[in-house]
Amino acid sequence: LAGARSADVPFLKRSTQGVPMAERVIDVATTPFAGQKPGTSGLRKTVTVFRQPHYLENFVQAVFDVLEGLEGQTLVVGGDGRYFNQEAIQIILRMAAANGVARVLVGRDGLLSTPAASCVIRAHGAFGGLILSASHNPGGPEGDFGIKYNIGNGGPAPERLTEAMYQRSQVLSRYRILDTDTPVDLSREGDRVLGGMRVTVIDPVADYAALMEQLFDFKAIAGLFARGFTLCFDAMHAVTGPYAHALLEDRLGAPRGTVINGTPLPDFGGGHPDPNLTYAPELAALMFGPNAPDFGAASDGDGDRNMILGRGAFVTPSDSLAVLLAHAEHLPGYRGRVTGVARSMPTSRAADRVAEALGLPCFETPTGWKFFGTLLDAKLATFCGEESFGTGSDHVREKDGLWAVLAWLNILAATGSSVADVLREHWARFGRTFYTRHDHEGVDKDAAEALIADLRGPSLVGQTFAGRTVVLHDDFAYTDPVDGSTTQAQGIRLQTDDGARLVVRLSGTGTQGATLRLYLERFEADPAKHGLDAQEALADLVLATRDLLRLRERFGSEKPTVIT
Ligand code: G6P
Ligand code: ZN
């Protein structure tokens, strides 16, 4: 860390000649803002909301107020580089100093991807960290901003903590800040002083890259590139650019130009930094076109999501999790130490089949990465994944986009197979779980809630659905096997006798009206049928679902707005 020892920083000692401006702590009177309630991924609002005077300050003070024992501790701060990132960090630094934090580690230029922030918190034994991001939501003056607190294990704050932050935000009457306008220089690595606090500007990539080198066979991956293997990684003008340049091009030897859109921009170049076939059209067109490279991948605004593509092949996140689990023995950091796998409920059951074959437990959790935390801490699960383009492991406590890309590269290097072949071989061995998600965005909220309420009605078990017999119909509830906490009403599950499944839930992250998500899957053991297109393979289930839910009658249309 740039040779940073506290002894090198003489100006940390307080002047006895009166208190200089930059060290004067002031209490600013304020009044609460309604709705400062962190959701699954922190407090996420438009930039215009965040730029109201005192808005960010109030929330940060609420966070600091509920963190017992914060004084004298080290925090990690960084964000995805979106508009308002740097200003927000300067405010947070002045408030951290005023609230008695001893040291803050902040990524150069205020950058830290979400998984890298989790890594830095863990690697430095920090008390916790503040991550500035609105993930895959668009950025810019008209875009979104967000802030979330992660605890010492590197994972998102649990609900009791975020609830306490919210409660505190609704009653506070002052916040504490250093009385200075001079920004801390974040453009160079090294130590600075702010009031009585040390600010250490760190290379945002170093700790993360070191961790990746422990987990994966870099020599084998470098060999792949040396033999002319081609990759296109789309950083979507978001935070993974510097990480991908450093890891894929500098360390692994992929040629320059492998990483596209690799410079983080405050508005992500006007794009929607969400790695899927709809929002990464340039990459999708390339991978399904005549000049496709061997491998294609993309990550989102803050670097925790991933999309994996081969030449003419799209890997569903559900299959990706299953493939990683099946090939864990090829990954040096996981060889011989995989204890189990966890997936969110709507994620397909492809991983369950691998777990069963390997004699490993498979956990089904509610949607949201935070539900994996206790399982990872207790070493009950090693890998985890969600259908919403999230894959990860116990190496950090966030999902990790670039990690998934490196894991796939490691598997391709070890097997010598193409992405399409890895998939084909996987399905031949474990069977294929055809899977699709149909989203109906911006539908009427009351109508959507009425639909869910209806599905909580009389049981459909024993009835016919798409020519099959329903064997399970419930509203998913979860009891955490580690801490015993329970979570109710997480989505409707309908399973049939031949292994098909329909899941219906409302998005917890949508902003306009409601977003209805329909998740469909069916199992196919016959390799002769594995080449089918997923939409074709699931067509009868889609039609039956539209009828069962009476979509046209309820919403005026039965066509989804997005299909993944
Ligand atoms: C965020 C969380 C994910 C979760 C997703 C669900 O991205 O980080 O863990 O899977 O939201 O979103 P939804 O809109 O389906 O509630
Ligand atoms: Zn994200």
CATH number at residue 550: 3.30.310.50
Q: Over 80: is that where the pLDDT of 510 sits?
A: no
* Residues 265 and 399 both lie in one domain: yes
Angle between helices 206-215 and 401-415 (to 10 degrees): 30
User: Do residue 500 and residue 529 come from a single domain?
Assistant: yes
Top mutation candidate among 40, 136, 440, 518 for ligand 1, by most atoms within 8 Å of CB: 40
Confidence (pLDDT) at 340 = 98
CA nearest neighbour of 292 among 412, 413, 418, 427: 418
CATH number at residue 394: 3.40.120.10
Write the pLDDT tens digit of every residue in 519-545.
999 999 999 999 999 999 999 999 999
How many C-beta atoms lie closer than 10 Å to residue 214's C-beta? 10
User: Is residue 439 in some structural domain?
Assistant: yes
Active site residues: 135
Query: Are 318 and 423 in the same domain?
Result: yes
E strand map for 172-305? 174-178, 190-194, 197-202, 231-234, 259-260, 295-299
The answer to whether residue 2 scores a pLDDT higher than 80 is no
Say if 144 falls within a structural domain: yes
Which pLDDT score is estimated for 21?
57
If you average pLDDT over residues 263-270, what whole number do you get?
95
Question: Do 423 and 300 lie in a common domain?
Answer: yes
Last residue of a domain, one of 408, 430, 452: 430
Say whether the ipTM exceeds 0.85.
Answer: yes
Residue closest to 387 by CA, chosen among 501, 231, 289, 536: 501
pLDDT digits (tens, 9 = 90+) for 99-155: 999 999 999 999 999 999 999 999 999 999 999 999 999 999 999 999 999 999 999
pLDDT of residue 18: 54
277 within domain boundaries = yes
Confidence of residue 19 (pLDDT cuts 50, 70, 90): low
Q: Write down the number of H helices and E strands in the chain.
A: 18, 27
Residues 6+ apart with CB under 8 A from 138: 144, 267, 268, 270, 271, 272, 273
User: What does the pLDDT average to over 494-523?
Assistant: 92
Same domain, 357 and 466: no
Closest ligand 1 atom number to CA of residue 369: 9
By CB atoms closer than 10 A (0-12, 13-18, 19+), residue 479 is exposed
Confidence of residue 20 (pLDDT cuts 50, 70, 90): low
For 318, the token pair is 């559900």
Return the residue whose CA atom lies nearest to atom 2 of ligand 1.
368
Whole-number pLDDT of residue 513: 82
Q: In terms of domains, do 268 and 407 share one?
A: yes
Domain holding 483, by residue range, is: 432-563
4 pLDDT band, cuts 50/70/90, is: very low
Mean pLDDT of the chain: 94
Q: What is the pTM of this model?
A: 0.93
Ligand 1 mean position, distance from CA 6 (Å)? 41
Shared-domain flag, residues 219 and 256:
yes
**Which ligand neighbours the alpha carbon of 137 most closely?**
2
- pLDDT score for 8: 35
Q: Tell whether 61 and 188 lie within a shared domain.
A: yes
Condensed to tens digits (0 to 9), the pLDDT of residues 297-352 reads: 999 999 999 999 999 999 999 999 999 999 999 999 999 999 999 999 999 999 99
Give the per-residue pLDDT at 6.
Answer: 36
Tell me, yes or no, whether 38 lies in a domain.
Answer: yes
Of 388, 439, 503, best ligand 1 pocket probe by most atoms within 8 Å of the beta carbon: 388
Which ligand has the nearest atom to the CA of 391? 1
Pair 74, 64 in one domain: yes
Residue 168 lies in a domain: yes
User: Which ligand lies nearest to the CA atom of residue 389 in the structure?
Assistant: 1
Compute the distance from residue 218 Cα to the ligand 1 centre, in Å.
31
Q: What is the pLDDT of residue 423?
A: 98
- What DSSP string describes 476-496? --EE-TTT--EE----EEEEE
The domain boundary, picked from 412, 430, 448, lies at: 430
Model pLDDT for residues 25-45, shown as the tens digit of each residue: 999 999 999 999 998 789 999
- Among the residue ranges 148-162, 348-362, 401-415, the one predicted with the least confidence is 148-162
Pocket of ligand 1 (CB under 6 A): 40-41, 344, 367-369, 386, 388, 390, 507-510, 517
Q: What is the pLDDT of residue 10?
A: 34
Question: Does residue 33 sit in the same domain as residue 120?
Answer: yes
Give the pLDDT confidence score for residue 328 in this predicted structure.
98
Given a cut of 90, is residue 1 above it in pLDDT? Answer: no
214, 282: one domain: yes
**Domains held by the chain: number:** 3
Cα 227 to ligand 2 centroid, rounded to whole Å: 33
Last residue of a domain, one of 167, 182, 202: 202
Query: Left, alpha or beta for 466 (phi > 0: left; psi -120 to 50: alpha)?
Result: left
pLDDT digits (tens, 9 = 90+) for 176-217: 999 998 999 999 999 999 999 999 999 999 999 999 999 999
Say if 526 falls within a structural domain.
Answer: yes
Same-domain check for residues 441 and 421: no
Would you say residue 1 lies in a domain? no
| 185 inside domain | yes
- Which among 44, 135, 369 is the best mutation to test ligand 1's pocket, defined by most ligand atoms within 8 Å of the CB? 369
Angstrom CA distances, 174 to 30, 31, 55, 227, stand at: 5, 8, 12, 61
Task: Read off the pLDDT of residues 355-376 as tens digits, 9 standing for 90 and up.
Answer: 999 999 999 999 999 899 999 9
